[in-house]
Structure 1
Amino acid sequence: MELTLPAATRQSISPRPGSALHRVAAIDVGSNSIHLIIAEARPGERLRIIEREKDTVRLAAGLTETHHLTDEKIKAAVATLRRFTDLAHAHDVTAVLVVATSAIREAWNRDVFLQRVEQEIGLKVEILPGVEEARLIALAVAEVTDFQGERGLIIDVGGGSTEFILTDGQTPTYLASVKLGAVRLQEQFLSRQDPPSRAEIEALTTYIQSGLARTVREIQEAGGFQRVVGTSGTILALAAAKPDTHSLETKAPAPKKVAFTSFASELTYAELQALNRRLQRMPHKARRKLPGVDSRRADIIVAGGILLETIFRELGIQHLTTCEWSLREGVVINYLREQGWSLSHTPLSAGDIREHSILSVARRYAYEAGHAHHTAKLAEQIFDQTLPLHGLGMREREWLRYAALLHDIGYHIAHTSHHKHAMYLIRHAELPGFHPHEIAIIANLARYHRGSLPKRKHEDFTRLLPVHQETVTRLIPILRLADALDRRHGGKVKEVIVEMQDQSLQIVPISVDNTDISLEVWCAQQVLPIWATVFPGLKVEICPEQAAPAAMYR
């Protein structure tokens, strides 16, 4: 079923057909929070989220008992929508898309809310049916997730409902919306005692099991699933707050966390169970201080955790991967496709998603494509021919390639210290498909493509695990040599031949049509001490093409 947002939903600002840039705002009026994203679409780039705002209005408060939105909550929601609309206009958006979900769907006085929003702000709100909400969630998740041809189950736990989708990354084969949400369940079962009693927890668990019975049966009858993706604030918060398994098992201090964010994290059934036992013993005041849990979500996180754990148990889930993109991004993607923008019509492989993420960041910061891609090509050649020396694998080769593509994006900020600026930009870029430690490694590699080698005082490097510090250190000489061999950014060195014998390394740059590459050779020679430092005892030399033994040529 295709959703066609009515013309009235595309608020006040008409799109600019044929424009090279679309900025679109999407506002999601949810049961717990009202969310705003402002997304920027450019040809050849992944959709970029340039602004995110959230206000925990809790529209669904009291709705289960009275079936009515309170005047206080309507007033707060209108104020939030006015502020979000002003912010959207300040970003010169081409459209404002406003959707509402469970709380507005079920409120008997929803027309009062809709009329006030239209009269006071000029916005028309589209109320999404539960199944359409699920479809748009699937649209967003598929844009940034590689299902590897497997059947995936997407779970979105909201304040008033939970959506379930079966998909392989293309058209969903199953869509369902169940009236089980963190706000709804907290008010019904866990609002009397703090922390909740065992009897309350057991009653809630039984209620959830009953509410899930039909959906569980339908998912099983539809063929089940092979992987699970979780979206929404509740699931993201639970994944962020999960206990450190190293600390639980060894009772030793956890290793320092890498200060890099990821588009996806992992949550196992065992981790969720351990977290829930802890949450259920903590009073609200203590939960507010728990890392990873927004203080405004602390009152509903227990109900959300029990709901997710019950879903895990009833469906036999052992492992879930989170996804930050959900309904709001799906609304934007759907709208852009209606406008003729092509984002991705077929599911991308993991490599495609990662490459697309890297190139989107590169283009965003006006990278010099010729030099970046040629540096990456030379770096891969050197990596492949020095494998016995560095002993790294294909994943490390991929990190090297991505660092080569991004190593000069710091010029977007300034020439001086551009290597440090590159690290900053990579750290704060949205990179779907990458784990935090991978973003950290790529950022560090870009940072050390020039300047000093890593030092103890460099916090971003020392935060890496020791094995990742070693990986970065071994890749630095390769990236620096590749960069030096394209010093004039002209692709004058078409390939590099490396000959290894014991502790001796002979490097032969091959020019294009016997072009003069004396500058590139000189720059490469300046990098050789780095090789000797990283690989003690190694003798390295640059051998001019004419002087190289004939046996070295392929």
Structure 2
Amino acid sequence: MNRLALIDMGTNTFHLLISEVNEQGQLQQLYKTTVPVRLGQGGISNGAIAPEAYERAIGTLREFRKTIDAYDVETVRAMATSMVRNASNGDEFVKDIFKQTDILVEVISGDREAEYIYYGVRAAGVLDQSTSLIMDIGGGSVEFILCNEQEIFWKRSFELGAQRLMDKFFQQDPIAPENVEAEKNYLREKLQPLSEAVVNYQPTNLVGSSGTFDTLCDIDALRRGDTSRTVSDPIASALAVEDFYQVHHELLRKNHEERLAIPGMLEMRVDMIVLASIAVDFVLQEYRLQEIRVSAYALKEGVLHQAFAGL
């Protein structure tokens, strides 16, 4: 049996996924958890991991190490993304993690992050022959990949994650209309390379990967009285554009407490989802995309499938 533990250290959430190849050569999930560490909180705009976030992260990784040991895992791969990539104390943080937990963290580039996300989304089965625009909204960065089920045409990571957007544009709650416009203008300016690539490759659909998009689907399903998502946790979903806009306008209208009361809302996303939803709206409008597909798989599943493909 080959057992692999994957740790995805995002700016907002840390994920642990433990899998193995069974006797039939199939990939089997043994354990999965997500912890809202909020590594970017209080520090992302200053370019350093804040002391409280630092301690939360180390504590979470200590717990992950206990679980990994309990499952008798042979190989551990831990990946850090935008927050650690850009933090002035990122190197010290990585050394500290190894000293305290014996977990060796690989700080991956935005380009590599986008590549792994593509493999994760492809494994979810949401891609086909048509050209898709994958969008993965993290706390620190947003990855965009223009692709189909065969290949990547273009990919890039932008340091425009929901925590960064929140620090910049979330001055009052509910968010003011002028701040919504300010965020869209900022995205229009910063995403110029994406806009040029979209002209070249002409995507027909938006594929949202995990995180924000899962929550948008959960809210939409429960709004329509469909509880099956909460039971089955589907790998691939569709979200009608008009249904997205129903949820989007609700998020813009409500304050923190009211958003928290929305069925399907997760506490760890309750504020950031406002900024993320504005970014989704911008992409749909700017690139005239008429269809939204959602993949529950993202970076960690991409790493997993690539790792086991090499066994």
**Both structures adopt the same fold (TM-score exceeding 0.5):** yes
- Secondary structure (helix, strand or coil) at the match of 1:57 reads coil
Deviation (angstroms), 1:186 = 0.9
- Quote the offset at 1:261 in angstroms: 3.8
Distance, in Å, in 1 between the alignment partners of 2:295 and 2:182 is 30
Q: Which residue number in structure 1 is paired with residue 80 of structure 2? A: 100
Match for 2:64: what amino acid?
Answer: F
**Structure 2 residue corresponding to 1:311, chosen from 267, 274, 283:** 283
Which of 281, 286, 290 is 2:262 aligned to? Answer: 290
SS of the residue corresponding to residue 66 of structure 2 reads helix
User: Do structure 1's residue 226 and structure 2's residue 198 form an aligned pair?
Assistant: no
Separation in 1, partners of 2:226, 2:121 = 30
In the TM superposition, 1:91-490 aligns within 5 A as 91-145=71-125, 147-190=127-170, 192-221=171-200, 223-242=201-220, 254=224, 257-258=227-228, 260-338=232-310, 340=311
1:275, distance to aligned residue in structure 2 (A): 1.4
CA distance, structure 2, for counterparts of residue 106 and residue 71 of structure 1: 16
Distance of 2:301 and 2:252 partners within structure 1: 33
Residues 41 and 302 (structure 1), Cα distance of their counterparts in 2 relative to 1, 3 Å cut: same
What residue identity is the alignment partner of 1:88?
I
Q: Provide Cα deviations, 1:80-134, integer angstroms capped at 9, x if missing partner.
A: 0111121111111121100000101111111121111011111211011001001
> Contact between 2:141 and 2:161, CA under 8 Å: does it hold in 1?
yes
Residue 169 of structure 1 and its aligned partner are, at CA, apart by 1.8
Work out the CA distance in 1 between the residues paired with 2:148 and 2:177.
39
Do the aligned residues in 2 keep the contact of 1:166 with 1:174 (CA within 8 Å)? yes
**% identical aligned pairs:** 30
Deviation at 1:40, TM superposition (A): 2.2
State the 1:137 CA deviation: 1.0
Contact 1:30–1:103 (CA under 8 A) maintained in structure 2: yes
Normalising by the residue count of structure 1, what TM-score does the alignment of the two structures yield? 0.53
Alpha-carbon offset, residue 322 of structure 1: 0.8
Corresponding letter in the other structure for 1:297: R
Task: State the secondary structure of the residue aligned to 2:49.
Answer: coil
Could you tell me how far 1:255 is from its partner in structure 2? 5.2
The one-character-per-residue Cα deviations of 1:391-418 (angstroms, maximum 9, x if unpaired) are xxxxxxxxxxxxxxxxxxxxxxxxxxxx
Query: Is contact 2:125-2:236 (8 Å) kept?
Result: no
Q: What code does the residue aligned with 1:324 have? A: A
Residues in 2 aligned to 1:181 and 1:33: alpha-carbon distance in whole angstroms: 13
Q: What root-mean-square deviation, in Å, do the aligned CA atoms of Structure 1 and Structure 2 show?
A: 1.9
Alignment of 1:8-27 (within 5 A): 21-27=1-7
Distance in 1 of aligned mates of 2:28 and 2:258: 36
Secondary structure at 1:265's aligned position in 2?
strand
- Give me the whole-angstrom Cα distance separating, in 2, the residues matched to 1:141 and 1:256: 24
Q: Displacement, 1:46? A: 4.3
The 3-state SS of whatever aligns with 2:191 is helix
Deviation at 1:203, TM superposition (A): 1.3
What is the Cα deviation at residue 157 of structure 1? Answer: 1.1
Give CA deviations for 1:154-175 in whole Å, capped at 9, x if unaligned: 2111111111112222332211
- Aligned residues between the structures: 309
Among candidates 2, 11, 15, match of residue 35 of structure 1: 15
C-alpha separation between the residues in 1 aligned to 2:227 and 2:45?
A: 43
Letter paired with 1:204: E
Q: Secondary structure at the match of 2:264?
A: coil
1:256–1:233 CA distance, 2 compared to 1 (3 A): closer
- Cα deviation for residue 304 of structure 1 reads 0.9
TM-score by length of 2: 0.93
Task: Give the distance between the partners of 1:147 and 1:69, measured in 2 at CA.
Answer: 36
Which string of whole-angstrom CA distances, capped at 9 and with x for unpartnered residues, describes residues 259-301 of structure 1? 5442222223322222121111111012112122211210111
* C-alpha separation in 2, matches of 1:120 and 1:235: 34
Q: Give 1:333's aligned amino acid.
A: H
Shift of 1:226: 3.4
Please report how far the alpha carbon of residue 330 of structure 1 lies from its aligned counterpart in structure 2 after TM superposition.
1.3
The one-letter amino acid paired with 2:197 is E
Give CA deviations for 1:196-241 in whole Å, capped at 9, x if unaligned: 11222221121122222221211321x2223432112111111221
Q: Which amino acid aligns with 1:119?
A: K
Distance across 2 between alignment mates of 1:317 and 1:292: 25
Question: Quick one: higher RCO (CA 8 Å, sep 6+), 1 or 2?
Answer: 2
> Structure 2: which 5+ runs fail to align?
none
Preserved CA contact (<8 Å) 1:158 1:232:
no
What's the CA shift for 1:185? 0.6
Larger Rg: 1
**How many Å separate the matches in 1 of 2:147 and 2:252?**
33
Cα separation, 2, equivalents of 1:243 and 1:278: 14
Determine which structure has the larger strand proportion and give its number: 2
User: 1:97 touches 1:331 (CA, 8 Å); kept in 2?
Assistant: no
Q: Which stretch shifts more, 22-31 or 256-265?
A: 256-265
Q: Is contact 1:287-1:295 (8 Å) kept?
A: no
Contact 2:221–2:227 under 8 Å retained in 1: no
